[in-house]
Amino acid sequence: MKLATWNVNSIRMRQARLIAWIDRQQPDVLCMQETKVEDDRFPLELFRERGYQVALHGQKTYNGVAIASRLPMTDVVCGLPAEGGGVDEQARLVAAAVAGVRVVCAYVPNGQAPGTPKYEHKLGWMERLRLHLGATCDPAAPFALCGDFNVAPDDRDVHDPVAWNGQIMCSEPERAALRAIAAIGLVDGLRQLRADGGLFTWWDYRQLAFPRNHGLRIDHLLLTAPLAARLREVAIDRDERKGKQPSDHAPVIATFDP
């Protein structure tokens, strides 16, 4: 099974590149973040004509997540449970079962800067995700938490750790929140296979960040042990960041043995 995650930064703006990418890479399951579109305006037909069904959880302008699968998909759940009942009003989480694997697609809040209300919201959201997964994820079953976490787990994941020290996506509370989520029983898929630094998934649109390779690794696939045991390969599709009108994130693709 080929499972990918990609923050597309507007599915309508990315439509042509996304379809070309799907035709080239042929993922079985694709988790998308920042689709930025309400469900009735999502380009569903492009997926359907390629044999994909799509679990949608969109909203206008901001956020929006979706899972496309060309294998049968069941048990779709939209949204992160909110405190005191109900669901998070921001569309940042969608989950489904595919081929015996529970797949959760997450778009963690950006957090703006440490010390701001958005930063506190980010930490609170990650803690609510931890509690939700603690209650619903069986670490003994095949499970993948995929998405844009907006956190670089450690300094290997940062092009300039000194400049980024304590900044958003690199601060210790964010890293601790990510470790707390993983402590449910999840391993970083890429790190299971590779220990080297300089592997990035996001580059700022500004200041020639991509040609200078000023990037961060903030998109991840976190796996329970039974699924991690089947992991054969993880690739960051860096080429997808090149050319005209790229997303600022590159897709990450994991391949699993049956």
Partner DNA sequence: ATGGCTGCTTTGAGCAGA
Tell me the closest approach of the beta carbon of residue 231 to DNA, in angstroms.
Answer: 25
User: According to CB under 7 A, which one of 16, 176, 208, 229 is a site residue for DNA?
Assistant: 208
Distance CA 110, CA 112 (A): 6
User: According to CB under 7 A, which one of 9, 69, 171, 224 is a site residue for DNA?
Assistant: 9
Tell me the closest approach of the beta carbon of residue 198 to DNA, in angstroms.
Answer: 12
How far is CA 45 from its chain centroid? Answer: 23
Establish whether 119 is a catalytic residue: no
Which residue stretch of 4-12, 79-87, 180-188, 225-233 sits at the interface with DNA (rule: CB under 7 A)? 4-12
From the list 28, 52, 88, 148, the catalytic residue is 148
Q: Nearer Cβ to DNA, position 98 or 181?
A: 181
- Rule CB under 7 A: say whether 60 interacts with DNA: yes
Place of tokens 């489904």: 96
Distance CA 229, CA 223 (A): 9
User: According to CB under 7 A, which one of 62, 176, 179, 232 is a site residue for DNA?
Assistant: 62
CB atoms within 10 A of CB 106: 25
Establish whether 148 is a catalytic residue: yes
Q: Which residues, in sequence order, are CB contacts of 230 under 8 Å at separation 6+?
A: 142, 256, 257, 258
CB crowding 31-68: b at 16 or more within 10 Å, else e = bbbbbbbebeebbbebbeeeebbbbbbbbeeebbbbbb
Helix (H) or strand (E) holding 55: strand 53-57
Residues in 19-58 at the binding interface with DNA, rule: CB under 7 A: 34, 36
Which residue stretch of 24-32, 49-57, 79-87, 206-214 sits at the interface with DNA (rule: CB under 7 A)? 206-214
Residues in 85-124 at the binding interface with DNA, rule: CB under 7 A: 109-110, 112-113, 118
CB atoms within 10 A of CB 164: 18
From the list 28, 52, 88, 107, the catalytic residue is 107
Q: Nearer Cβ to DNA, position 3 or 168?
A: 168
Distance CA 1, CA 192 (A): 17
Residue 23, token pair as written in the block: 């035709």
**Site residues, DNA (CB under 7 A):** 7, 9-10, 12-13, 34, 36, 60-62, 109-110, 112-113, 118, 148, 150, 168-169, 202, 204-208, 210-211, 213, 216, 218, 242-243, 245-246, 248
Give catalytic residue positions. Answer: 107, 148
